[in-house]
């Protein structure tokens, strides 16, 4: 059984079940700072590191493009905290997600493409495919997630018959 995942434009409403969209929009509260030479947009995402002994960890990930059409053969989740991806270039990237829980159903996979200005913050426990860089160039992301000693990543490989294809139109 092979199936295709339909890729939708990333919106705040459609992504809400999986986490937060990080972007400057009309919904953002802002204040002018630095003698009027900067604007601060506050509260774009709630980084969840609420597990005892955890701390926020800031990293840079450098993603490489994957060949398309892409075979979705596994998913991962971070059960101890959220994970935010903020692109440093203005290139779109894709995300494939499934609702949080101990397991997930292939039929519940959803795919979104950013507009190049958006970042995402996966909620704690949300299943997702690893970083999906589009285009021909490597792309850097600021990643904010849950640091600490315990492992915060679980992976599930699909059975061969369950592999899905992601096609971008």
Mean pLDDT, the chain, whole residue set: 91
Helices (H), 52-98: none
- Residue 110's Cβ-count burial label (10 Å; 0-12, 13-18, 19+) is middle
Place of tokens 């850097």: 140
Residue 79 and residue 125: Cα distance in Å, rounded? 4
Among 63, 123, 57, 125, CA closest to 94: 63
pLDDT digits (tens, 9 = 90+) for 56-115: 999 999 999 988 888 899 999 999 999 999 999 999 999 999 999 998 888 899 999 999
Residue 148 and residue 53: Cα distance in Å, rounded? 7
> 6 pLDDT exceeds 80?
yes
**Higher per-residue confidence, 9 vs 53:** 9
Q: Is the dihedral of CA 19, 21, 26, 32 positive or negative?
A: positive
pLDDT digits (tens, 9 = 90+) for 101-112: 998 888 899 999
Residue 36 and residue 122: Cα distance in Å, rounded? 33
> 117 pLDDT exceeds 90?
yes
**For residue 158, how many other CB atoms are within 10 A of its CB?**
14
Residue 104 and residue 75: Cα distance in Å, rounded? 9
Place of tokens 């829980």: 101
Residue 100 and residue 124: Cα distance in Å, rounded? 8
User: What are the beta bridge partners of residue 41?
Assistant: 30
């Amino acid at each position: 059984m092979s199936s295709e995942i339909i890729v939708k434009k990333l919106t705040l409403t459609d992504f809400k079940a999986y986490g937060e969209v990080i972007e400057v929009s009309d919904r953002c509260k802002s204040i002018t700072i630095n003698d009027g030479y900067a604007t601060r947009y506050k509260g774009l995402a709630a980084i969840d590191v609420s597990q005892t002994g955890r701390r926020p960890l800031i990293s840079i990930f450098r993603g490489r493009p994957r060949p398309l059409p892409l075979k979705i053969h596994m998913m991962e989740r971070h059960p101890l905290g959220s994970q935010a991806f903020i692109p440093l270039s203005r290139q779109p990237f894709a995300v494939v997600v499934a609702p949080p829980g101990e397991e997930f159903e292939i039929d519940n996979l959803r795919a979104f493409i950013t507009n190049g200005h958006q970042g995402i913050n996966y909620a704690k426990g949300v299943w997702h495919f690893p970083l999906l860089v589009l285009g021909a160039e490597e792309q850097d992301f600021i990643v904010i997630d849950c640091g600490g000693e315990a492992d915060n990543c679980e992976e599930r490989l699909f059975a061969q018959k369950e592999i899905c294809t992601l096609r971008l139109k």
